[in-house]
Amino acid sequence: MYSFLDQDITYLKGVGQARAQLLASELDIHTVADLLHHYPFRHEDRTRIYRIDELHEGMQNIQLRGQIIDVSTVGEGPKRRLMATFTDGTGFITLIWFRSLKTISKMCQIGVTYQVFGEPKVFQHSFSIPHPEMEVMEQVQNRPLLRMQPVYHLTEKLQGRGITSKFLNQLVANAFDKIASIPETLSSDLITAHRLVSHEQAIRDIHFSQSAEAVSNARRRLKFEELFFLQLSILQYARSRQTVTEGWRFPRVAEKFNAFYSHVLPFSLTEAQKRVIREIHADLKSGHQMNRLLQGDVGSGKTIVAALVALLAIDNGFQACIMAPTEILAEQHYRGLCDQMQQIGVNVALLTGNVKGKQRRETLEGIKEGSIQILVGTHALIEPNVEFRNLGLAVIDEQHRFGVKQRAQLWTKNSRPPHILVMTATPIPRTLAMTVYGDLDVSVIDQLPPGRKPIATRHFASREYERIRQGVEMELRRGRQVYIVYPLIKENEKLDLKALEEGYEETQRRFPQWKVGMVHGKMKPAEKDAAMKAFAANETQILVSTTVIEVGVNVPNASVMIVENAERFGLAQLHQLRGRVGRGAEQSYCILVTKDQLAENTHERMQILVETNDGFRIAEADLKFRGPGDLEGTAQSGLPIQLKMASLVGDSVMMSEAREAAARIIEADPGEQLPQYRVLWTRLRQLKANQTNYSDIS
């Protein structure tokens, strides 16, 4: 059925080509439905009128009612501003404008009652509101009042073009003028059991509401809906894999595996490593396709497990691939594996965005005809033009950037899906794991290789740099190497790069006898590669870098990790960085340098790293200190369905409810055929295809 909801946004009054393009590029809004699903992230109660004597510091936007008793322009040139003294009988505040002074001064009339709206700021012990919204009371009384005014996420660019929360809300109103109805997306038993408002009601109330209660009901409904479909999708996937997916059988442990084990392996495996290899091997023999998560703290030795498992595939006549999140990591894995695999006659190749021309053609050819047995690379591996002769196993390192979707792409690489082993060093709390890895079986390496001395971690203020320098100098004289990491924050790449380059020069001055290298994400791949290689070969002794070295880089001779501006990192990230040292048998050090003036919490946060090396403890503390923000981002990126309203971390109780509900539906309707649930399966298919297409369900 045709639905106005699926129409292009330009069908709405007020949206021409230019605005449509802006809405698409800035907010990913293309259709009317997209607009309706761009939910406000909070509401302002515009019925509450505050008294001036109630104002206190740190308030957000508030409304006042009163009169102007005095207006004047002060200052000259760019400092010129318009100031009005405003009172409601309980006190006085100043309204201030820095722009459009002429127009506004005409508007300000003494003795007229105004309603003003804005954020009160304290300046020289009294309150002022810069650039308030101001309306004459009579007007206010004549217009229909929307009590709960929605505030939408907007970009600066949009605001610069006059697309404000008010404007968006008006567009939504225009849309509702033309929409007959919005179809329901949940089955009626779910709506009743969970006491939800209808989908249409929720969408209306989230945009136009007269009461806080209605907004809260709308939010609850929309959150539940998202979490329910997320869980339904995960459980559906998990079930389909248990029942339908046949896997390749790897019964043999033969020549290559044994040769590697007895001739190449430079150490004996830890008990934990042996155990997880047995767990994995049991999967590979079972006849079911494996989907397993291998968790192990940094340095626990996951790479060698991946190598041995790859050999199990090869011994059974299959190819294996190993996928890493960055080029640096892929290249490092490749180099490590090449050395080892050459000794037993196994052919390894590398495929990343950097591999071009003839080399790329040859690699693709070798994969297709089967002369390449292990392919290492970035996500370039899953591109459609990479054809394997007989892919049996895919290892995905440092997983959280690969989601269910990407894994599903791997499935198409052979007539039966390959076995999949996902490796991660990021411990995440249980409730989250259930969702983010809800479709995976889990193995854990809970033991570090023997002989490791725990890394000694110290926290210094930057004024103590001379002490740091002396300690580092001693390590360098012992022949060891040093990382110095600077934070790189996306929003301001230029400034960060400058800080890094200054840091590089500073380091050269501080350690004149030693060679210093530098890597950062903006370098050309070849330069980056050269810098990493030089450090790995001890041609440079100090490597100044951004967090590009965060995941997985392995230079055992490096014994010192210095993190500059450590207060700007999360604890889990610092723990990852710290894991870059302590890879040899000798004592290693992690030095956290923070500003002299510490913000609240910083000392406490650093102290956790000083005190413990336990990744799980650190992850939990991180969550407590920083809130869900970051974790949310990384975890979300792997989900089959994006959450707009619900929070993975904040809504864990509702998540459990949604999971139970989804499990009941899957059990009640395993064939996906019951008429009362057709609406659910249809909606799920659309969401998975990332469409908000209503016409199929109406």
Site for Mg ion in 499-538 (CB under 5 A): none
Angle formed at CA 162 by CA 20 and CA 33, multiple of 5 degrees: 35
Phi-psi region of 151 (alpha: psi -120 to 50; beta: other; left: phi over 0): beta
Q: Which stretch binds Mg ion (CB under 5 A): 230-238, 361-369, 544-552, 683-691?
A: 544-552
**Number of residues binding to ligand ADP, judged by CB under 6 A:** 18
Please tell me the distance from the alpha carbon of residue 308 to that of residue 56, in angstroms, as a whole number. Answer: 64
Q: Does 449 bind ligand ADP (CB under 6 A)?
A: yes
> Is 522 exposed, middle or buried, given 0-12, 13-18 or 19+ CB atoms closer than 10 A?
middle
Binding characters for ligand ADP, 425-444, by CB under 6 A (x = yes): x-------------------
Nearest distance, CB of residue 153 and ligand ADP, angstroms: 37
Q: Which of 299, 438, 615, 640 binds ligand ADP (CB under 6 A)?
A: 299
Q: Does 300 bind ligand ADP (CB under 6 A)?
A: yes
Nearest distance, CB of residue 466 and ligand ADP, angstroms: 33
Between 16 and 266, CB nearer to ligand ADP: 266
Q: Which of 115, 169, 295, 303 binds ligand ADP (CB under 6 A)?
A: 303
Q: Which of 38, 221, 333, 583 binds ligand ADP (CB under 6 A)?
A: 583
Contact 553, 532 (CB under 8 A): yes
Please tell me the distance from the alpha carbon of residue 365 to that of residue 386, in angstroms, as a whole number. Answer: 9
Contact 447, 580 (CB under 8 A): no
Contact 80, 68 (CB under 8 A): no
In sequence order, the 6+-apart residues with CB closer than 8 A to the CB of 487 are 496, 546, 547, 564, 565, 568, 569
Interacting partner of 407 out of ligand ADP, Mg ion, none (Cβ under 5 to 8 A depending on kind): none
How many C-beta neighbours within 10 Å does residue 479 have? 11
Angle formed at CA 266 by CA 392 and CA 326, multiple of 5 degrees: 50
Between 452 and 603, CB nearer to Mg ion: 452
Q: Does 301 bind Mg ion (CB under 5 A)?
A: no
Q: Does 302 bind ligand ADP (CB under 6 A)?
A: yes
Site for ligand ADP in 224-283 (CB under 6 A): 267, 269-270, 273
Nearest distance, CB of residue 337 and ligand ADP, angstroms: 11
Residue recorded with tokens 């050999």: 311
Q: Which of 120, 299, 552, 579 binds Mg ion (CB under 5 A)?
A: 552
Interacting partner of 267 out of Mg ion, ligand ADP, none (Cβ under 5 to 8 A depending on kind): ligand ADP
Q: Which of 503, 552, 615, 638 binds ligand ADP (CB under 6 A)?
A: 552
Q: Which of 366, 403, 429, 556 binds ligand ADP (CB under 6 A)?
A: 556
Contact 485, 546 (CB under 8 A): yes
Q: Does 296 bind ligand ADP (CB under 6 A)?
A: yes
Between 236 and 303, CB nearer to ligand ADP: 303
Contact 195, 153 (CB under 8 A): no
Q: Which of 216, 554, 636, 647 binds ligand ADP (CB under 6 A)?
A: 554
Residue of 12, 53, 59 whose CA lies nearest to 33: 12
Contact 452, 582 (CB under 8 A): yes
Binding characters for ligand ADP, 18-37, by CB under 6 A (x = yes): --------------------
**Number of residues binding to Mg ion, judged by CB under 5 A:** 1
Radius of gyration of the chain from its Cα atoms, rounded to whole angstroms? 30
Residue of 443, 413, 400, 434 whose CA lies nearest to 292: 443
Contact 271, 447 (CB under 8 A): yes
Binding site for ligand ADP (CB under 6 A): 267, 269-270, 273, 296, 298-304, 425, 449, 552, 554, 556, 583
Residues that bind Mg ion (CB under 5 A): 552
